[in-house]
Structure 1
């Protein structure tokens, strides 16, 4: 299993968080095999893997029952491990090949109305503080680019490109883009609108230099978003920025950084954007992942139709 994890890290280039999930899932699988008295790959059967899936769904004395999504993720890790073992000559057969992960229930993305998003952006940061401009810029980037929280806090200043005109603060200056590094180290260029450019430029000029002076040791390493000590802003701190802004704005819905990503995609499709364009902007490997946002739009169409068409009412 260590060899398999090395393979995922070096050859597949999986992100650190994904590797951590695989490691945790496989450790639980090893415990299950040990409890069955299994110490060799040749001893694992299809029934062994199926029994592990049942145990995931039912839970045990040390683990609560897993939902279909979490159980499916764990089974995918196990299937990948056994497939790798056969390909690498460590086993002759794949006992997990016919064990299918449970199908997760299809959940629609939780998108915020535009009015709520605008209220959150306006409430970003405590007024009059050095961090207010940073918080405003962070949330504008999250909503304006559809970036994952890890992609946003992983940005460096050099990842910004305001186009030929340069970041001079003028309205509409340049065709701004940002380089986002997604899952598996995949990179994509995403346009940056004027609102996000304005917020980032104000932060770079009036706030970031002051935060950078507080850096100790190796400092920020060129990070775009800095914390109060001059280091790179963490995912947890970025999450807290959004939650506080939503609280100030009086938005009572559950809000997370991924909510802004969902809202970015849903608002684009509601505005007429092609689903494949949204796929590229979000960095989805498959358009199937992106198509869930079209279901949200269909629901909106039904509501409008029901309210407006004279023959739609019961």
Structure 2
């Protein structure tokens, strides 16, 4: 099974052009399954049955994993076995009849506009090295809704500050064009002019990078470093808010919809292939709309006595 698994992982990376993080997640989930199969019984790939998959599902449930985690692991297995069936490694898909309770869809967390202002001010804190870079990162995440991995991979040639447009390369190497607002353009230009040259100088010229954002050591910035940076910004400023990079993406979409953007435009800006992925944000905006209505309308609540 190892050979087929390796070929599938190469297929995801080379043909589907999945990000390194996504490929690694598939690798971990599939390795777990292979380990389970080998511990229970040394079953060749072609002989794995529906019953084996039922046993594995029971094993995942017994471990007390969250529904989202189980759903993700099963999704990886479905993709793997579909690939194996297409390549004629197996004659039947053992996952075909496996069903699992749909994962509970949690509403996306987002920042209120005042919290974004606080975060942007905190990002420019000179107590944290390279405040112009830090401010530019927060500005661009909020201005474009790009994923943290897309931000790390952003190259100079993809950013046009003159026409205020950015070319984002997303999942599967799909490209989308996203506008940049004045605040983001100003922050990025300040960083490029004043701090990026110093960061580039820290590195051997033969290893120079065309990535927009560089680490404190002048190397290509990694997603984990942005996560740590955002946590430090919040901690140093004493802000009582939880943060993670994807929360900025949720905030971007929610604020656009709150201010009247249409769903299709937000879908295109986020790079969602399916509109259903974007529609989750309507639950957030509808909830906000309901609260505003209940707070503002004079007859929104039951009257204590007849008028």
Aligned residue for 1:189, secondary structure, equals strand
1:211 corresponds to which residue? 199
Unmatched 5+ stretches in structure 1: 60-64, 167-174
For residue 75 of structure 1, report the CA deviation from its aligned partner. Answer: 0.7
Given the alignment of the two structures, is residue 146 of structure 1 paired with residue 145 of structure 2, yes or no?
yes
1:116 corresponds to which residue? 115
| Matches for 1:1-314 after TM superposition, within 5 Å | 1-59=5-63, 65-127=64-126, 131-162=130-161, 166=162, 175-216=163-204, 218-314=206-302
- Kindly provide the CA deviation profile for residues 211-238 of structure 1, in whole angstroms up to 9, marking residues without a partner as x: 2111136434111111222212222222
Counterparts of 1:203 and 1:132 in 2: how far apart (Å)? 9
For the aligned residue pairs, the C-alpha RMSD in angstroms reads 1.7
Counterparts of 1:112 and 1:12 in 2: how far apart (Å)? 33
The worse-fitting range, judged by mean Cα deviation, of 127-136 and 296-305 is 127-136
Unmatched 5+ stretches in structure 2: 303-307
Counterparts of 2:77 and 2:216 in 1: how far apart (Å)? 42
Counterparts of 1:247 and 1:48 in 2: how far apart (Å)? 47
- In structure 2, the CA distance between the partners of 1:101 and 1:22, relative to structure 1 (3 Å rule), is farther
Counterparts of 1:216 and 1:57 in 2: how far apart (Å)? 51
Aligned length: 298
Counterparts of 2:214 and 2:13 in 1: how far apart (Å)? 28
Counterparts of 1:113 and 1:250 in 2: how far apart (Å)? 17
Counterparts of 2:28 and 2:222 in 1: how far apart (Å)? 22
Counterparts of 1:301 and 1:75 in 2: how far apart (Å)? 36
For residue 115 of structure 1, report the CA deviation from its aligned partner. Answer: 0.3
Aligned partners of 1:153 and 1:234 also within 8 Å: yes
- In structure 2, the CA distance between the partners of 1:128 and 1:256, relative to structure 1 (3 Å rule), is closer
Counterparts of 1:305 and 1:223 in 2: how far apart (Å)? 46
Counterparts of 1:235 and 1:158 in 2: how far apart (Å)? 20
- Kindly provide the CA deviation profile for residues 147-193 of structure 1, in whole angstroms up to 9, marking residues without a partner as x: 1111112111221112xxx3xxxxxxxx3111212122222111110
TM-score (norm 1): 0.90
2:305 corresponds to which residue? none
Aligned partners of 2:144 and 2:178 also within 8 Å: yes
